[in-house]
Structure 1
Amino acid sequence: MAQFMPARPAKFVSLPGFYNKIALGARESLPNLAMDIEFRARAIDVRPRNTYFYCSQTNRIDHMSEQSAAPEKPVDERLKNIVLSERQPASGVKPLKALLPFVLHYPVRLGLTALFLLVAAIASLTIPSLIGNIIDEGFVAQNLDVINQYSFVIIAIAGVLALASAARFYFISVIGMRVITDIRRAVFKHLVDMDITFFDTNRTGELISRITSDVGIVRGALDSALPVVLRSSVMLIGAVLMMFVTSPYLATTVIVVIPLLVFPIVWLGRYIRNLSRRQQDRIADLAAMATETFGAIKTIKAFTQEKHRNEEYAGYAEGSYQSEVARLLVRAGMIAFVIFLTATALVALVWVGTQLVLTDQITVGELSQFLIYAMLATGTLTGISEILGTLQTVAGASERITEILATEPTIETPSNPLSFPEPPVGTVKFEDVEFRYLTRQDEPVLNGINLEVKPGETVALVGASGAGKSTLFSLLQRFYDASSGSVKVDGVDVRQADFQQLRQRFAYVEQDSVMFSGTIAENIRFGKPEATDEEVREAAEAALVDDFVSRLEDGYESVVGERGVMLSGGQKQRVAIARALLKDAPILLLDEATSALDAESETKVQAALERLMVGRTTLVIAHRLATIKNADRILVMEDGKVLDEGTHDELIAKGGRYAELAKLQFQQ
C-alpha cells in the first residue's frame, strides 16, 4: 500500500481528500486520535487512487497515485485564490466583523433594540438598589409603610423590565432573521456569479455545507448567543458601575478578580476557535461525501459498493465526532473554571463585606445591594464565558461564509463592455486560440485553433473524446478564457463583452441534458421565461416533446423530479432541444443533441433541427456522422488541433481520419 503521509505536515486541497482531510486534520488537532483514524483509513482502503492537491510547502499542484507521489506541475496563483479549502483560518473572533455590514444595514431596528436593551438594563439595575433600601429603611427600621411603597415600585419596574425585554427580544430576533436571509441571498448570488473554474476546483458538497450548515450556525448564534452577549455586556458594565456607587472598596476588590476570569476565557476561546473551524471542515467533508454518493447511487449499487461507501462515510463521521468531542471538552473545562472561580470570589466578597458591616463601614442593606450587583456581574460573566465557545464556533462558520464572498471570479465582465451589433449577425471566429485549464497548465487542450464560421453556416466538429470540441463551446460562451489568441462573436472579442449579452446569442443543448425540479413546461420555459404557453407548446411540438407529453396525466404540468428522474434519457433530450428552440438565439450550439434518441425519434428531431438551422449559425458536435452529412463544413479534431476540414464528400474523398470513421460507422 502506498504511503501518502508526508514527512512534514503540509496543507492540502484534496479531491476527494478523505485520507488527507481526516488523517491530517486529526494529526493537527487531535494527536492522540490521529493514529486511530489513520489506521481506520488504511484498514478500509479508502485511499484516493488519483488525488489532485495543492501543497503550500512546495507551491505546486501535485498529483498522487498509488504508483507515484511526485509533484507534477507548478500552481497558478489564480487557482490558489479560488480553492476555498486552502485558505488559512483567521484567529479569534475577527471573522465576525465581516457580518457587521449585514447587521448595520438596519439602523432603525438596531436603534430600537439598543433603546429597549438600555431600558431593560436600567430597570434591572434599579431593583437591587430598592431592595437595599427596603432592608435598611423597612426591615431594620421596622417600617411597614416603606416596605409596601418600595414593593409597589419594584413591581412597576418589573413590569417595565418585562415589556422592554420582550420588545428587545422581538427586534433583535427580527434583525437576526433578516440578516440571515440577506446572508443566504448574498452567498447564493455570489456563488451563481462565480466562473466555472471555481466550481471545477471546489467540491459541491463543500459549497452546500457552507451555504446551509454554516449559515445555520450563524442563525443559531443570532437567535441565542447575540442577545445574551448584548444583554450580559450591558448588565456587566452597569453592575460594575453600581458596585462602585454602593461601595468603592468592595468594588475595587471585585475588579482585581475579573482579569483572573477574563484572561483564561480569551486564551481557551482561541483554542476552541481552531477546533471549531476544523469541526466545520469535517462536517463539510460529510456533506461532500453524501452529495457524491447520492448523485452516483446507481453506479454504487451496480458495482455493489454500498459497504465500501458506508465504511468510508463512517470514517468521515468518526473524525467529525472526535473533533466535536475535543471542542466540547475544552468548553466544559472553561465553564468549570469560571464557575469555580466566581463562586470562590463571591464567598470571599461575603466575608469581606461582613467585616465591613460589623465595623459599621457599610449597612446590611448596602451589603445586600452590593452582593446582588456582584452576582449580576459574575452571572453575566459566566454567561459570556459559556457563550464565548458558541461565538468561536460562529466565528469559524462566519469565516467559511465570508471566504466565499471574498473570492473573486477569475473571469469578469469588463467595466465598459462593447456592444454587439443589432440585429445579430451570427459570425464566430477563433484566431490562433490556445487553451489550458488552470489545474493542468502543462497540457494544452486547444492549440493553434483558427476557425471562422459565417452567418447561417452549419459547422460540425468531429473527433475522439478529449479532442477539444466541447472546449470550443465553453470558450464561445466565455465559461473560460483562452490562454492566448482571441474568440470573437459578431466581431466582438468575448473578453470585451457583457456576459448576459454574449450568452443571449447562443442556444445550447448539452450532451447530458440538464433538468430542473419542476414541470415539463417550466423546464422548456427556462430558455425564455417570458414565453407564452402557446410558444412553449410550439417549441415542444417541434422537438417532438408533445408525443410523450400527450400520454401523461398532467401533460405539460407533469413534474420531472430531481434531475429529471421521471423522464427517460430520450425524453430529457427532447425537452432540452425544445428549450433551445424556444430561446430562438441566432447561434445554435448542439453538443450531441440527438445522442439519447432512438432511431425513429432521431430522424424526426433531426428534421426539426434542420428546419431550425435555416438562417442561423450552427455548431454541431457529433459522433454519429450520419447526422452531419449535410453540414456546410466538417472539422476533424484531434489532440486540440484541427486535422482536416471540408464537406462530407470532400473528406471521404481525401481518405483521412474522417474517412476511416465514416467507413467504420456506415459499415456497422
Structure 2
Amino acid sequence: MGRLKYVFLLSEYINNYKAKMFFCIVIHSLYKMMPICLGFETAFIISTAFSGNLHYPERHFFIVLGMIISTALLNYLDILVSHDVAYKILTELRNLSYEKMAQISPAGLDGEKSGNIMSIVLEDIEILEWFYAHSIIQIFVAIILPTLALVIMSYFSGYISVLLLLFILLMVSIPYMSRKRSDNQGIKIQSKLGSLNAIIIDGIQGIKDIVTFQWQKEYFRRMYESNDDYNLSFYEYSKRSSSEVATINLLIGISSVASTLIIIYFSHIGKYSSQWILPLISLSTLIYAPLQETLSMSSNYGRIFGAANRVFDFLQTQPIVSDDGKIKCNCVADTFKNKILFDNVFFSYEDKASGKKNDVLKGMSFEVKEGETVVLVGSSGCGKTTCSKLLQRFWDVEKGGIYINNINIKDIDLSELRKLITVIPQDVYLFNRSIKDNLRLANKNASDDDIITALKNANAIDFVDNLKFGVETFVGERGMRLSGGEKQRLSIAQAFLKDSLILVMDEVTANLDYNNENIINQSLEKLKRNKITLMIAHRLSTIKTADRIVYIKDGICAAEGSFCELMENNEDFRALIGDVNNS
C-alpha cells in the first residue's frame, strides 16, 4: 500500500463520509474544468475572429458568460462542501481519539508525555485536513482532467499527447523518488513537535516550581534545544520540498515551450488548420494547473502521511485491561456483609525503555470488610498505591485474584466496577469549572439540595458560602484558586455524592496542616460509615486511627493487626514508624 497505507487504514474510521467525498470530487473536478474550458473557448474565439470565421458571436458570448458564472458558483460549492466534509471527518477522528484515551487510560497512557498525546489529537489530526479537504480530491482531479485533455489533443495529433504525457510522467516521478525521505522527515517533524509540546506543557504546569528553585536557565536550555531540533527538522523538510516544487515548475515551463513548438509545427504541415493553434496551446498549458496544484501539495505528503501514521497507531492502541465482565454493580453488593479480598496477588510493572519487569506484589493477600478501615503501610514503592490501582482494574493482576463479595473483579463490567469504588486522592484535580460542575462529576443527577448536603457533610459549606459566587464560583485551572484543604474537602463532597460501596483514600491528609486534618477527619468519619474503606498512609495520626493495619514488605503482607499489636510484635514495623516520627 506504500505511503498511502495509513490514510487508507484511517478511512475505515470514516466510512460514513465516502459518498460525500465522492460528491466533493465531482464538484472539484467541474470547478477545475471550468478555467480549462474557458481558456480553450476564449482562445478559439480569438483565433476564429482573426481568421474571419467567427460565426454566431452572441452564442459564444453567452457560453463564456455561463462559464464565468459557473466557475464562481462551483468555487463557492467546492470550498463549502470540501471543508465541511473535511472538518466533520476531523471531528470524528478527534472524538475517536478522545474515546481511545478514555478506553486505554490510565495504564495505556502510563509513561506517555501529555504534550505528545496532545500533538497527536490536535496537530496531527489537523494536518489531515490538508489531505481530506485538498489532497485526496486534487489527486483524482489531477488524473481525470489531464486524461481528458490528452484524449482531446490526440484527436488532433497523437504526438502532442505523447509529448505531454512524457513530461507528466517526469513530473510525477520527482515526488515519487523522494517519497521515503519525505515520509521519514514528516514523521520526524511531528515527533519533534510532540516533544516540544511536552516540554512547554511541563513548563506551564510547573512554572511555580521553576521560579521557586531558580531553574529557569535549565528549563529554557531544554526548551531551546527541543525547539532547535524541531526547527532543524522542519528546515530539512522545507528544503527538500522547495527543490521538488522548483523542479516541477521548471519542467512545466520546458513542456509549455516544447508543446507550443510541436503544435505550431503540425499546423504548418497541414495536420489541422491554423485557427486551432491558439486553443491547443491554451489547452496544453492549462492541463498542468490541477497537476501542478497536486504535485505542489505533494511536498506536504510527508507530514500528512506521517501524521496519519501517528493517528492510526494511536487509534490502534489496545487497552491493557479487557472489558469482558458482564456483572452489574447492583448484583455485586451484598445487603448483609460486604468485603473485598486480595488473594495471593502477583503483579509487576514493565519498564517501556528496557522491557525489564519490576516485581511489586509477590503474593499479596488481605481482606477488608464493610464498616472496617484498613490502612496499607510500608516503605515507598512497596505496592500500596498499586493495590488501589489493581482494585480499580487500571491493570490486571498476573496471578491470584481480587474479589468483591467473592466475585472476581474481572467478571464485573468495567464501568460498573468503577461505580462501586470512590477514590479520594492526595492530589485532587479540579476542572476550571464552577464548584457545582465539579461536584456533579460524581453524580450528574445530583440536585442543588444534594450538593448543599454533600458540602455540609464534607465540612466545606462554610468556605463555599464565603466565596463571592458560592457554588457557582469557578475554581481555576487545576483548582488553583482554592487551598489544598479546600480542594480536599470538595473531593470528599464528591465522594458523598457518589456514595459508592468501596472507599479508597490515598494519603488524603498527607499535605495538610493540623486544623485542616481535623476538619477532614471529621467528615471522613461520616463518609466511612457502612463502607469498605481502604486507606494508604504514611502519617502516624492516620495509621493509629485504623481498625486494622496491613504492613507490606517485599511485595507481601508481612504482618497485620492493630497499631499496638504491630508495634509490639513486628520489629520492621517499629523501625518504619520510627522513621515516620523522625520525618
1:470 aligns with 2:385: yes
Unpaired runs of 5+ residues, structure 1, are 1-89
Q: Distance in 2 between matches of 1:317 and 1:641?
A: 46
Q: CA deviation at 1:141?
A: 2.3
Residue of structure 2 in register with 1:599 after alignment: 514
Moved more, 625-634 or 208-217: 625-634
Aligned to 1:93: 4
How far residue 118 of structure 1 moved from its aligned partner, in angstroms, is: 4.5
Code of the residue aligned with 2:169 in structure 1: it is P
- Checking the alignment, whether the CA contact within 8 Å between 1:508 and 1:589 is kept in structure 2 is yes
1:538 lines up with 2:453 in the alignment: yes
Aligned to 1:445, what secondary structure does the other structure show?
Answer: strand
1:566 corresponds to which residue?
A: 481
2-structure distance, mates of 1:664, 1:112: 72
Work out which of the residue numbers 135, 140, 154 in structure 1 matches 2:51. 140
Aligned to 1:387: 297
Name the residue aligned to 1:83. none
Query: Which amino acid is the alignment partner of residue 621 of structure 1?
Result: I
Aligned to 1:584: 499
Q: Hey, what does 1:130 align to over in structure 2?
A: 41
Task: Give runs of aligned pairs for residues 73-222 of structure 1, distance below 5 A.
Answer: 92-120=3-31, 123-131=34-42, 133-135=44-46, 137-143=48-54, 145-222=55-132
Which of the residues 316, 331, 348 maps onto 1:422? 331
Q: For residues 472 and 650 of structure 1, do their structure 2 counterparts lie closer, same or farther at Cα, with a shift above 3 Å needed?
A: same
State the alpha-carbon separation in 2 of the partners of residues 359 and 134 from structure 1: 23
Q: Is the 8 A contact 1:560 1:567 kept in 2?
A: yes
In structure 2, give the amino acid aligned to 1:376: L
Q: How many Å apart are 1:611 and its aligned residue?
A: 2.3
234, 240, 244: which is aligned to 2:154?
A: 244
List aligned pairs for 1:448-597, cutoff 5 A. 448-597=363-512
- Give, in whole Å, the separation in 1 of the partners of 2:262 and 2:328: 81
- Quote how far apart the aligned CAs of 1:103 are: 4.7
Aligned position for 1:13: none
Relative distance call for 1:121 and 1:237 in structure 2 (3 A) is farther
Quote how far apart the aligned CAs of 1:664 are: 7.2
Cα deviation for residue 464 of structure 1 reads 2.2
Residue number in structure 1 paired with 2:224: 314
CA distance in 2, matches of 1:384, 1:525: 51
Q: Which residue of 2 aligns with 1:30?
A: none
**Aligned match of 2:215 in 294, 297, 305?**
305
1: CA distance between counterparts of 2:56 and 2:136? 39
Q: 1: CA distance between counterparts of 2:175 and 2:100? A: 36
Structure 2 counterpart SS, 1:260? helix
Contact 1:239 1:376 (C-alpha < 8 Å) held by counterparts? no
What SS class does the counterpart of residue 409 from structure 1 fall into?
Answer: coil
Which of 234, 250, 254 pairs up with 1:324? 234
**Residue in structure 1 matching 2:528, options 599, 610, 613:** 613
Q: Which moved more, 1:245-254 or 1:107-116?
A: 107-116
Q: Which residue of 2 aligns with 1:435?
A: 347
Count of matched residue pairs: 577
8 A contact 2:455–2:493 mirrored in 1: yes
> Per the alignment, do residues 172 and 230 of structure 1 end up closer, same or farther by CA in structure 2, a change over 3 Å counting?
farther
| C-alpha distance in structure 2 between counterparts of 1:388 and 1:418, whole Å | 52
| Preserved CA contact (<8 Å) 1:331 1:389 | yes
Deviation, 1:135, is 4.5
Determine helix, strand or coil for the equivalent of 2:376. strand
CA offset at residue 386 of structure 1?
Answer: 0.7
Q: After superposition, what is the alpha-carbon deviation per residue over 1:285-312, rounded to whole angstroms, capped at 9, x for unaligned?
A: 1111112222222222222111111112
Structure 2 distance, partners of 1:663, 1:352, is 97
CA contact (8 A) 1:420 1:492 kept: no
SS, match of residue 349 in structure 1: helix
From the superposition, tell whether residues 378 and 662 of structure 1 become closer, same or farther in structure 2 (CA, over 3 Å): closer
The match for 2:274 among 364, 367, 370 is: 364
Instruction: Name whichever of 540-549 and 595-604 sits farther off.
Output: 595-604
CA deviation after TM superposition for structure 1 residue 372, in Å: 1.7
Contact 2:36–2:287 under 8 Å retained in 1 = no
Distance 1:354 1:540, change over 3 A: same
Change (3 A) 1:606 1:342: same
Most deviating of 296-305 and 395-404: 296-305
Shift of 1:174: 0.6
Describe the shift of the 1:430–1:267 C-alpha distance in structure 2 as closer, same or farther (beyond 3 A). same
Distance of 1:362 and 1:667 partners within structure 2:
103
Taking the TM superposition and a 5 Å limit, the aligned residue runs for 1:218-297 are: 218-297=128-207
Residue type of the alignment partner of 1:311: R
Kept after mapping to 2: 8 A contact 1:431/1:449:
yes
Q: 3-state SS of the aligned residue for 1:434?
A: strand
Instruction: Report SS of the residue matched to 1:298.
Output: helix
Identity of aligned residues (%): 25
User: How large is the RMSD of aligned CA atoms in angstroms?
Assistant: 2.4
| Cα displacement (A) at 1:283 | 0.9
Q: Is the 8 A contact 2:186 2:303 kept in 1?
A: yes
Match of 2:556 in 1: 641
Secondary structure, counterpart of 1:650 in structure 2: helix
- Letter of the 2:168 partner, please give it: I
Does 2:326 align with 1:411? no
Q: Deviations over 1:437-477 (max 9, x none)?
A: 02275432112111122233221222222221111101100
Q: Determine the C-alpha separation between the residues in 1 that align with 2:557 and 2:382.
A: 9
Q: Deviations over 1:218-251 (max 9, x none)?
A: 2244444455444444322322222223433311
User: Hey, what's the Cα distance between the residues in 2 that align with 1:162 and 1:421?
Assistant: 63
Question: Secondary structure in 2 aligned to 1:437?
Answer: strand
Q: Which moved more, 1:180-189 or 1:638-647?
A: 638-647
User: Aligned pair 1:632/2:547, yes or no?
Assistant: yes
Q: Name the SS of the counterpart of 2:550 in structure 1.
A: strand
Separation in 2, partners of 1:259, 1:663: 80
Task: Tell me whether 593-602 or 317-326 shows the greater mean CA deviation.
Answer: 593-602
For residues 665 and 228 of structure 1, do their structure 2 counterparts lie closer, same or farther at Cα, with a shift above 3 Å needed? closer
Q: Does the 8 A contact of 1:269 with 1:388 survive in 2? A: no
Report SS of the residue matched to 2:358: coil
**Which is bigger in relative contact order (C-alpha 8 A, separation at least 6)?**
2
Over residues 241-296 of structure 1, what are the superposed CA-to-partner deviations in whole Å (9 max), with x where a residue is unaligned? 22223433311222233222221221123322221211111111111111222222
Which of the pair is proportionally richer in helix? Answer: 2
Q: Distance in 2 between matches of 1:652 and 1:318?
A: 57
Q: CA deviation at 1:96?
A: 1.8
Provide structure 2 residue ranges, at least 5 long, that are not aligned to the other structure.
none
| C-alpha distance in structure 2 between counterparts of 1:261 and 1:385, whole Å | 8
* SS of alignment partner, residue 349 of structure 2: coil
Alignment of structure 1 residues 40-55 onto 2, 5 Å: none
Find the aligned partners of 1:461 and 1:573 in 2 and give their Cα distance.
20
Normalising by the residue count of structure 2, what TM-score does the alignment of the two structures yield? 0.93
